């Protein structure tokens, strides 16, 4: 069984040596283990709930803040591209209106966590840190848990 930290009503200080940390009241868990997108999805579903969906600007800000503590240059999130239907969607079921089409169907997405957010396509087999959504936490703004791929570029990483 893997340890995790629960929100206790105060902003937590991240232990830079820990492989798993919690973020504020938004039930996001940064896992500092390097896994492919499918491995990250399986890990999140087994231990927490799901890879995080970030359909709103507020959740995207939380995710960006959490990604700053990653040990990899990008972080997997729960955004996926449907090759058959030609659209991006979050694991929570939210369809994402994006101007650009995926260049290859096996790519997954990432958002840059620096000053400006931008989406990049990465191959799903890359080994990255990832952000899980911890389900069942009663908070005022909760990230929903449901059943999709994205990553975030971490500021200051090569």
Give the pTM: 0.68
Nearest to 108 by CA among 92, 93, 97, 124: 124
Cβ(119)–Cβ(98) below 8 Å: yes
Could you tell me which CATH number the domain at 20-153 has?
A: 3.10.100.10
The average pLDDT across 10-33 equals 57
pLDDT in tens, 52-105: 988 888 888 888 888 888 898 888 988 887 778 878 888 888 888 765 555 556
């Amino acid at each position: 069984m893997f340890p995790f930290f629960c929100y206790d009503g105060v902003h937590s200080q991240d232990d830079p040596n820990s492989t798993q940390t919690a973020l504020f009241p938004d039930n996001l868990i940064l896992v500092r283990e390097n896994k492919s997108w499918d491995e990250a999805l399986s890990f999140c579903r087994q231990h927490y709930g799901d890879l995080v969906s970030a359909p709103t600007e507020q959740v995207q800000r939380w995710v960006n803040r959490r990604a700053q503590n990653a040990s990899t240059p990008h972080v997997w999130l729960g955004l996926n591209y449907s090759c058959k239907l030609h659209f991006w969607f979050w694991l929570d079921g939210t369809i994402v209106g994006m101007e650009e089409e995926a260049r290859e169907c096996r790519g997954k997405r990432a958002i840059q966590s620096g000053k400006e957010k931008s989406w990049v396509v990465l191959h799903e087999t890359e080994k990255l840190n990832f952000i899980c959504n911890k389900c069942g936490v009663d908070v005022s703004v909760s990230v929903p848990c449901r059943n999709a791929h994205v990553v975030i570029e971490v500021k200051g990483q090569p």
